Amino acid sequence: AIDQDYALVGEGLTKVFGGFAAVKDVNLAVRRGSIHALIGPNGAGKTTCFNLLTKTLSPTKGRILLNGVDISRLRTAEVARRGLVRSFQISAIFPNLTVLENVRVALQASYGTGYHFWRSLRAVAPLNRRAEELLEQVGIVESRGTTAAELSYGKKRALEIATTLALEPEVMLLDEPTAGMGHEDVEPITELIRKVAVGRTVLLVEHNLSVVSNLCDRITVLQHGEVLAEGTYEQVSNDERVVEAYMGG
């Protein structure tokens, strides 16, 4: 059944800004356990679509299903509790806190209002242990005592992924994870996404097509706010309309 196969579905998504439709009747189905990319030329509607799916924007028309449940009317925090988490959702990284403290804050946020019950000295130890586990997963545990401001760009991104993992996402949405990265950071972050995607569903907006071809099972190509093509990298990269959209603009 469709609910079991697809973790996240956008149905007929439309977003109009002052008379201009940035996204028009977009249908998008993200298969459970897959890594799915949203690509397209500048202005294609990727960010708007992403913001609709993460509930950062409300659609003018259409609906969003998470595990078959309509989440269109739910707030971001409620959606996060149901397992749909956008990277950098909690906040940006706090530059003056250490790496470990940043993850601890994220864990505390994910435990929400119930956390005050645990705010005793004794409860800090398990939080620290969990934070260290997450830092180990993303490969920066040796930087635990460093302030976030001192991290390299690549390690900051890894820290952002650790804070996202703190919310225990079932569906993770990553907004241009390699944006602004030098060549040397792209490969490690790609491997990290592959690793944290195990047992999860991931949707990402990504400009770097070699990352998309390396990482993603399915690709949806947007152009002028509409779905131009959908399929494997092989399929969409051989689609004449896609080639034209990228070459001809």
Residues lying near ligand ADP in the complex (CB under 6 A) are found at 17, 20, 22, 40, 42-48
Q: Token digits for 180?
A: 């602004």
- Min dist CB 20 to ligand ADP, Å, is 6
- Min dist CB 224 to ligand ADP, Å, is 9
- Min dist CB 111 to ligand ADP, Å, is 33
Instruction: Give the separation between CA 32 and CA 218, rounded to whole angstroms.
Output: 11
- Min dist CB 10 to ligand ADP, Å, is 14
- Min dist CB 181 to ligand ADP, Å, is 18
Half-sphere exposure of 244 (CA within 13 A, CB side): 6
- Min dist CB 206 to ligand ADP, Å, is 11
Instruction: Give the separation between CA 185 and CA 62, rounded to whole angstroms.
Output: 37
- Do the Cβ atoms of 236 and 219 come closer than 8 Å? yes
Q: Which helix (H) or strand (E) holds 3?
A: helix 2-5
Q: Which is nearer to ligand ADP, 176 or 187 (CB)?
A: 176
- Min dist CB 22 to ligand ADP, Å, is 3
SS (H, E, C) 211-241: HHHHHCCEEEEEECCEEEEEECHHHHHCCHH
Instruction: Give the separation between CA 138 and CA 102, rounded to whole angstroms.
Output: 14
Q: How far is CA 158 from CA 97, 150, 203, in A?
A: 15, 13, 17
- DSSP assignments along 126-193, one per residue: HHHHHHHHHHHHTT-GGGTTSBGGGS-HHHHHHHHHHHHHTT--SEEEEE-TTTT--HHHHHHHHHHH
Q: Which is nearer to ligand ADP, 42 or 113 (CB)?
A: 42
Q: Which is nearer to ligand ADP, 22 or 151 (CB)?
A: 22
Q: Which is nearer to ligand ADP, 47 or 208 (CB)?
A: 47
Half-sphere exposure of 147 (CA within 13 A, CB side): 6
Q: Which is nearer to ligand ADP, 44 or 171 (CB)?
A: 44
Q: Which is nearer to ligand ADP, 43 or 188 (CB)?
A: 43
Q: Which is nearer to ligand ADP, 144 or 207 (CB)?
A: 207
